[in-house]
């Protein structure tokens, strides 16, 4: 297991369409090593999600957090070759997003509030899940990375892009609305 360097905006690996992973290779040593390294890297950098191109691997694999299990512990999912579908494009949620590949900045992005996702998990099993709210945002942010899209591409009003400290002081006032989620949203860098 190794902590890998995180690619930063401007590197072409973040702007390309990533290649699917052969499902038969998921349980092989190469992909399993990548998954372990991505977990270690994500923990080290304090992200709630990470996409493979962020560690210079242009393949369709993400780790996505923002969910809790039945006991209230954070749940992280490995999703390989994820396919997202949106039931209601008009049902949107907006929040200030961050990204480990764009350090220190936050920007306000609106996305569909609920998504259905089909993917392979880390054991090579086909899974289907439904997510809404914060976890749906994290997942969409990570999956965007697989198509070379960064959250700043989705900011409609660039006056709502700023440095973390200034955003927290002057722009992001959503935390007061739901205290339970505030810590999670405040650490939404991925």
Stretch that binds Ni ion, among 99-107, 117-125, 154-162, 166-174 (CB under 5 A): 99-107
Stretch that binds Ni ion, among 17-25, 69-77, 94-102, 117-125 (CB under 5 A): 94-102
Q: For the chain, what's the residue count?
A: 190
Dist. CA 158–CA 185, nearest whole Å: 20
Number of residues that bind Ni ion (CB under 5 A): 2
142 is an active site residue: yes
Residue of the chain from 61, 99, 109, 167 that contacts Ni ion (CB under 5 A): 99
Neighbouring CB atoms inside 10 A of 189's CB total 20
Which residue among 142, 175, 176, 179 is the active-site one? 142
Q: Over the range 83-101, which residues count as b (16 or more CB within 10 Å of their CB) and which as e?
A: ebebeeeeeebebbbbbbb
Region for residue 119 given its phi and psi (left: phi exceeds 0; alpha: psi -120 to 50; beta: otherwise): beta
Q: Does 137 bind Ni ion (CB under 5 A)?
A: no
Give min distance, CB of 58 to Ni ion, in A: 15
State the residues that interact with Ni ion by CB under 5 A.
Answer: 99, 190
| Residues tagged active-site | 142
């Amino acid at each position: 297991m190794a902590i890998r360097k995180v690619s930063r905006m401007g590197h072409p690996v973040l702007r390309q369409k990533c290649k699917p992973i052969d499902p038969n290779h998921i349980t092989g040593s190469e992909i399993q090593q990548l998954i372990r390294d991505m977990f270690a890297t994500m923990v080290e950098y304090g992200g709630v999600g990470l996409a493979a191109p962020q560690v210079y691997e242009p393949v369709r694999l993400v780790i996505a957090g923002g969910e809790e299990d039945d006991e209230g512990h954070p749940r992280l999912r490995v999703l390989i070759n994820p396919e997202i579908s949106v039931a209601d494009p008009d049902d949107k949620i907006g929040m200030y997003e961050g990204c480990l590949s764009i350090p220190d900045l936050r920007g306000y992005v609106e996305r569909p509030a609920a998504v259905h996702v089909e993917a392979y998990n880390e054991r090579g099993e086909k899974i289907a899940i439904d997510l809404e709210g914060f976890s749906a945002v994290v997942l969409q942010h990570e999956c965007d990375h697989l198509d070379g899209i960064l959250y700043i591409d989705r900011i409609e009003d660039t006056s709502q892009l700023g440095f973390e400290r200034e955003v927290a002081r002057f722009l992001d006032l959503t935390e007061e609305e739901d205290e339970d989620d505030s810590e999670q949203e405040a650490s939404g860098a991925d």
